[in-house]
Structure 1
Amino acid sequence: MLKSIDSRELQTRKAAAEEQFCGRKAGINHFANVDPATGRPVGGYQDGGIEAVLVKYAEDLIPTYIEYTAKGYTITTIGTVAINANTWEIYFNRPEGQVKPMLAAILHKVEADYRAEIETHNEKFIQDQVDAQLRVDTAREEREQAKAVAEKRALVEVEIRATFHPPQETTAPVQTPAPAKGKRS
């Protein structure tokens, strides 16, 4: 069956992509892509709505926080995470000005992928229907051809039989002469 674009499905996909983007940390993801030849995960950079800022010393935590909030960043629910005894990461939500263009590009890609998926499905459906119709037509032609061959064979057989087996003449029954009256010999 041919598919058409379902606006609810598209909005659901866009909402899921937006939620994933806003909840994802920007940076290297070791499972960002898949190698098409082997099917193994391949690392790569991915954008996200959360930016992790590395802070080397404890005395730099508050100045870093003030600097990033002045730029429009807001702290996430994760907040500050200690990596080791002397190093921390502060997780900030990116400012709306940075998020909007990135999110627009992601949503545009989601819509393009959805349209391509629908187009691929419809093209495959049409090709399957064409193949099925061709199989039906081929089977019908083969049946008609087999029937024509059988009819021709029957006609040729009748002609051959007529040629080699001429119709037999019907002969009158042989009459035996009646016994003569008289002496016996």
Structure 2
Amino acid sequence: MLKSLDQKELARRIAEAQALYKDRKSGIDHYAEVDPVSGRPISKYIDGGVETFPVPSAFEVLPVYLVAMAAGNTLHQLGLVQIGLDFHGNPQFELYTHRPAQVQKLALDKIAADVTAQYTKEIEEHNAAFIESEVQAQINIEGRRLERELAEAAAKRRAEIEAEVRATYTPQPPVEEPKTATPSRVKR
């Protein structure tokens, strides 16, 4: 069957993609994709609604926080997270923030447009494949019908030719010539 654009399905897909964006951390993901030939991971920049700021030491939390808030970010529920230790054994942190609302709105609008384009492309491909399969099925049906008609016509013609050949080459019973009375010589 041919598909048409389902607004509920489109809205669901857009909502899922936008929710994924809002909860995703922006930055480089070292395991984003896999090289199909070697099977090794490929790094890729991932865009998300969460932005992190590195905090080299506990004494720099407030300056980094102020810089992030000045950029328009809002504090994420994770807040400050310790990510490890530096080579001196001092703790290192990341400050989790939500990106500015206008940046997120642009990204969410782009995601909605991309999802809509992908969904319509998916529907068009499905419809094209369905139409192609139906056309091929009709062609196959007509081809089988023509083959059957040609086979019937060939069998009929073969029967006619066989009848002609049999009629031509069937030995005919010898025809007896009617004997005509020939005048016999009369003796005198």
1:156 aligned residue: 161
- 8 Å contact from structure 2 (residues 53, 68) kept in 1: no
1:77 aligned residue: 77
2:88 aligned residue: none
Unaligned runs of 5+ in 2: 86-90, 177-188
1:128–1:34 CA distance, 2 compared to 1 (3 A): farther
1:32–1:96 CA distance, 2 compared to 1 (3 A): same
1:40–1:4 CA distance, 2 compared to 1 (3 A): farther
- 8 Å contact from structure 2 (residues 3, 126) kept in 1: yes
SS at match of 2:45: strand
Tell me how many residue pairs correspond in the alignment: 171
1:182 aligned residue: none
For each residue in 1:36-72, what CA deviation from the matched residue of structure 2 results, as whole angstroms up to 9, or x when unmatched?
6678753311110000111112111012112212332
Matches within 5 A, 1:1-185: 1-33=1-33, 35=35, 42-85=42-85, 86-168=91-173
Structure 1 position 30, deviation (Å): 3.2
Whole-angstrom distance in 1 between the partners of 2:109 and 2:50: 16
1:41–1:133 CA distance, 2 compared to 1 (3 A): farther
For each residue in 1:66-97, what CA deviation from the matched residue of structure 2 results, as whole angstroms up to 9, or x when unmatched?
22123321111111110123310011000101
Greater displacement, 54-63 / 24-33: 24-33
Q: CA RMSD in A?
A: 2.1
SS at match of 1:83: strand
Whole-angstrom distance in 2 between the partners of 1:107 and 1:6: 15
Whole-angstrom distance in 2 between the partners of 1:67 and 1:137: 74
Structure 1 position 150, deviation (Å): 0.3
> Identity percentage over the alignment?
42
Give the TM-score of the pair, scaled to structure 2. Answer: 0.83
- 8 Å contact from structure 2 (residues 80, 96) kept in 1: yes
Unaligned runs of 5+ in 1: 172-185
Q: Which amino acid letter does the alignment assign opposite residue 4 of structure 2?
A: S
